[in-house]
Structure 1
Amino acid sequence: MSQKEATPPPPPPPPSADSNNLPPPIFTLSKSILRLIHASDAPALQRAADSPAVAKYMSYRFPSPYTIEEAEKWVGYATTFKVPGTDVLPSFAICDPVTNTPLGGIGIKLKEDIEVDSFEVGYWCGEASWGKGIMTEALRAYVKWVFETFPNVNRLEGEVFGGNDASIKVLERAGFVHEGTRRKAGVKHGVVFDIHVLGLLREECSLLE
């Protein structure tokens, strides 16, 4: 008596916060999920980051081409770096709200000495996510989280390359104020450009009200 042909299993569901041991959402927003970065995120981050257009307005620390080795290096840092004196991992993945696949990232850069109570915010997402309001929504949520998580922080700031008007708009929509321009402060691949400085004080963050 022959065995019946086995019925093929159904296709796996899209990844979720509970599958593949991914960290749970910190924020579930209308356009994205913000969560901690996981080791398995490296390939998706590499695909989203590997674009000259994405790297154009980033520092040399964000390489182009963006290889899987660079992605794995970044994931290794983001999954281990904690704000000094705390157990808080401040680097988040910005993920598709359906598949939980990383579209980009957001985090902070610490300052030192007399500026220790200020953080610099940095963020990026792949070209496919541009122009959809994803970053504005993610930044607003992240800013609120930073001020609530670090009560000593008085100020957040963002530095934007001259010409990156889209990033300036993202910061302004999150409440940041244009404070000044560092003229000809940046040089990348031989091109000299201004750097715009935008800041947000704790008492100016309407999301905390």
Structure 2
Amino acid sequence: MSQEQTAPQPPPPSASPPSNITTTSADLPPPIITLPNCILRLIHPSDAPAIQRAADSPAVAKYMSYRFANPYTLEHAQQWVGFATAFKAPGTDILPSFAICDPATNTVLGGIGIKARDDVESNMYEVGYWIGEASWGKGIMTAALRAYVKWVFETFPAINRLEGVVFEGNEASGKVLKNAGFVYEGTRRKAAVKHGVVMDILVYGLLREECSLLN
């Protein structure tokens, strides 16, 4: 869910990148978006340990789907890296899954990406994101989401709507969406069950013409 990322199912372990990759900061992908408190760039296989450290938290996983594992192991991180470095937006060669990184160290703090809809909803993407506990309350996620949705609208001219969905009780993520310009549109009542708890799902939307950063 949009807590922080609804993501398509990662590949099986056999598709995971090796864990013995060594790299330097100079080898990492260049920033696509540079902000005062974070940078957004493509994910690199060497990011897996940092992803694992940031994601391995019951608090981070609480409002995510089951696809976001808890505990979150290095193998889970490697599987996600394998997916994120291969998934392209439908009909393009564009990789839309980004790492949210510390601007000083280039270390991964979280992730952000889109999930494509199809058929009559092919003009819409669902946006998902997550960020480690150590980065909460610093405005990083809001800044990253605002910049990312601008990039999505500029990069994919056929997309006229983005959607974010949030589990009941996840006020922090709802605030992030609203601060990024998303509008609360309604509640899907009792639409989710996680660990036996029935929850509503709150739906937020952002239209191209509502994205203030495009104006």
For normalisation by structure 2, the TM-score amounts to 0.88
Name 1:8's counterpart in structure 2.
none
1:25 equivalenced with 2:31 (yes/no): yes
Q: 2:189 aligns with which of 176, 183, 186?
A: 183
User: Hey, what's the Cα distance between the residues in 1 that align with 2:128 and 2:152?
Assistant: 13
Q: Number of residues paired by the alignment?
A: 192
CA distance in 2: counterparts of 1:165 and 1:85, whole angstroms? 35
Gaps of 5+ in 1: 1-14
Q: 2:60 aligns with which of 42, 45, 54?
A: 54
Taking every aligned residue pair, what percent have the same amino acid on both sides? 77
Indicate whether 1:119 and 2:130 are aligned: no
Please state how far the C-alpha of 1:194 moved relative to its aligned partner: 0.5
1:134 Cα deviation after fit:
0.2
Give 3-state SS (helix, strand or coil) of 2:147's partner. Answer: helix
Q: 1:131 aligns with which of 130, 137, 160?
A: 137
Coordinate RMSD, CA, aligned = 0.7
Residue identity matched to 1:23:
P
* Separation in 2, partners of 1:149, 1:36: 15
Q: Which of 133, 152, 157 lines up with 2:158 in the alignment? A: 152
AA in 2 matched with 1:105: G
Q: Partner residue of 2:201?
A: 195
Question: Equivalents in 2 of 1:128, 1:79: separation in Å?
Answer: 25
Which structure has the greater CA radius of gyration?
Answer: 1
Aligned-partner Cα distance in 1 for 2:36–2:196: 40
TM-score of the superposed pair, with normalisation by structure 1: 0.91
Show structure 2 runs of 5+ residues with no match.
Answer: 1-23
Aligned-residue offset at 1:207: 0.4
Aligned to 2:112: 106
Alignment-mate amino acid for residue 200 of structure 1 = L
Higher relative contact order (CA 8 A, sep 6+): 2
Query: In the alignment, is the contact (CA less than 8 A) between 2:127 and 2:164 conserved in 1?
Result: yes
The letter of the residue matching 1:160 is V
- Report the CA distance between 1:114 and its aligned residue: 0.5
Q: Distance in 1 between the 2:137 and 2:151 partners?
A: 24
Q: In 2, distance between residues paired with 1:126 and 1:114?
A: 35
1:29 partner amino acid: L
CA distance in 2, matches of 1:168, 1:76: 29
Give the whole-Å Cα distance in 2 for the aligned partners of 1:28 and 1:112.
Answer: 31
Alignment match, 1:65? 71
